[in-house]
Amino acid sequence: MKRCSYTWRELDEEKRCPEEIWMGSDESCIFHDSSQEKDVNFFRQKLEEKLEKGDYRFRGYIFPDELHIRKKNFERDVDFTDATFQDADFSGTVFNQNADFDRVIFHKDASFNGASFHKDASFNGASFHKDASFNGVVFQLAHFYDAIFQSVDFSRATFRDNVDFARAIFRHDVHFNGTIFQASAMFGSTFHKSAFFEEAIFQAKTAFTGDAFHNDAYFIRTAFNGLTIFLNATFHGIAYFSEATFDSSGFINITFHDLTVFTGSVFKKDIRFMGSVFQDVSFHSAIVERNFEFTASKIRELDLRNAQFLFKGHVTTDLSKTGFHRCEFENVAFVDCKWPEKIYEEILKNDGNVKLTYKELEAIYRNLKQNMQRHGDYSKAGDFYYREMECRKKTMRKKRFSLDWFKSFGYSLLKYTCGYGEKPERTALSSILTISTFALLYWVFECLQYPVQNLTLLHQIKYTVYFSFVTFTTLGLGDIHPVNDWGILLICLEAVTGAFLIALFVVVFARKMMR
């Protein structure tokens, strides 16, 4: 009988199918015959004969529809390389040795639910045209290089050794919910729809290098127990890392085009965000137990509310729209950050979009001030102290005609004369305005006796400014003196005001210089 014409290359050597052609074809065996008319019963009979003999070489086989291999126990290596399936059902099958599914095409649904791969499982270049299910599968070493999936489910699967999804393409939703990765897990895949890794466990090194998530990605309550690296990845949808747990991890040069959520996440070791681009990112109620480094090249909104930074931190980014309410950031150094004149929460309160009280805002500014003092940025500490006093003043004015309400006007005086001790230039400007104002009053009320009679208007202005300056500084030279009660009253008022402003300027200026 004539042998089948199917050939392949293996280790630079051409191999040929050992089967004989069957009566329905002039050149192919029943296994390699691609015609629609081939005898399915004869195919099944010949396949059973191979299985009984322990011959598990199925390279290039074209399996007909509704032919399943369920709960089979393969004791030797299995080779399905370049095979083609319609429906494929390997549920409960045990592969005790290597299983090769490289470049296999699954035209319809493929099910490996509950299967076990005790050695190397290779699906490199495999193509799944419909749904694929690996629910509860146990893998040792697994390879999915260049595999193409439609919708695929790896939920509750276990990868006991390394797994690699490099250049894999997931065209529809992919589920790794509850999946356990006991050894290294390498991705580098393209996810066209939603990717679900909820409650997955990564126990060793995990790398998402160059991955593209074109829809939402769910890493909710995921445990990253080994070194985790997201490098040059892109998230086009929402990235959910809510309540995830991280060991040492890094997000390097990542682009987030939508919301990024780390709400309630726990970072047990060092975490680094370097050179990434964010839109809105939330660390609400997150806990960072070790070093935290956050350097974002671009960011729109940052939510640090209720977050706890228990060790050292380093942040360099735009903080124009950042929430700080109840954040514990004593150990965080804000270096080369872009700060707004008012923190975002105060702006939102003024717009009616946040329900924080001014007392709570005062506490935020106080914490920021103390943080700046702790890290030696006294200039920024002064800015936050100014805002702290402003919020305190607004709190005092909440109840009209109370004692605090009257005290608040004293805060207003300090605000305009010295900026609560942070702006000595205001004291200098107040002094100039005081001298000019009293000079004008002296001239208007004609209450001074000049040393020269019949003065022109220009000379009168010159003498009144001169006298106002002498009185303000309490020199009292005596060459000009008052001629009526108005003059006496104005001189007393200016002398007191001058003494106060001079003393205030000395205190404020000295305070700034000591810093």
Predicted pLDDT of residue 515: 65
Q: Give the DSSP per-residue string, 29-59.
A: -TTT---TTS-HHHHHHHHHHHHHHT--B-T
Distance separating alpha carbons of residues 463 and 213, to the nearest angstrom? 78
Helix axes 457-472, 485-514, angle to 10 degrees: 60
What is the bridge-based pairing of β-strands 287-288 and 308-309?
A: parallel
- Taking the domains of the chain in order of start, what are their residue ranges? 1-55, 70-335, 339-420, 424-514
Sheet containing 287-288: give its strands across.
73-74, 94-95, 116-117, 138-139, 158-159, 180-181, 201-202, 223-224, 245-246, 266-267, 287-288, 308-309
Contacts of 395 (CB under 8 A, 6+ apart): 357, 358, 359, 362, 404
Predicted pLDDT of residue 203: 97
- Indicate the residue type of 283: F
288, β-bridge pairs: 267, 309
- pTM of the shown model: 0.86
- From the first residue on, what is the mean pLDDT of each consecutive set of 10 residues in the chain (515 residues)? 85 87 86 86 90 91 87 93 93 96 95 96 97 97 96 97 97 97 97 98 97 98 97 97 96 96 96 95 97 94 96 95 95 94 89 84 95 92 93 89 84 88 90 93 87 81 90 83 88 91 87 74
Q: What is the Cα Rg of the chain in Å?
A: 39
Predicted pLDDT of residue 184: 96
240, β-bridge pairs: 218, 261
Distance separating alpha carbons of residues 100 and 60, to the nearest angstrom? 12
Contacts of 324 (CB under 8 A, 6+ apart): 304, 305, 343, 345, 364, 367, 368
Predicted pLDDT of residue 513: 75
Contact 141, 118 (CB under 8 A): no
User: Which phi and psi (to 5°) does residue 373 adopt?
Assistant: -65, -40
234, β-bridge pairs: 212, 255
Under DSSP, is residue 239 helix (H, G, I), strand (E, B) or coil? strand
CA distances from 151 to 97, 180, 192, 212, 472 (A): 28, 20, 10, 17, 84
Distance separating alpha carbons of residues 80 and 332, to the nearest angstrom? 56
Domain 424-514 class, CATH top level: mainly alpha
Predicted pLDDT of residue 354: 77
Predicted pLDDT of residue 1: 63
Distance separating alpha carbons of residues 293 and 301, to the nearest angstrom? 17
Predicted pLDDT of residue 11: 79
Contact 46, 24 (CB under 8 A): no
Q: Is 463 exposed, middle or buried (0-12, 13-18, 19+ CB in 10 A)?
A: buried
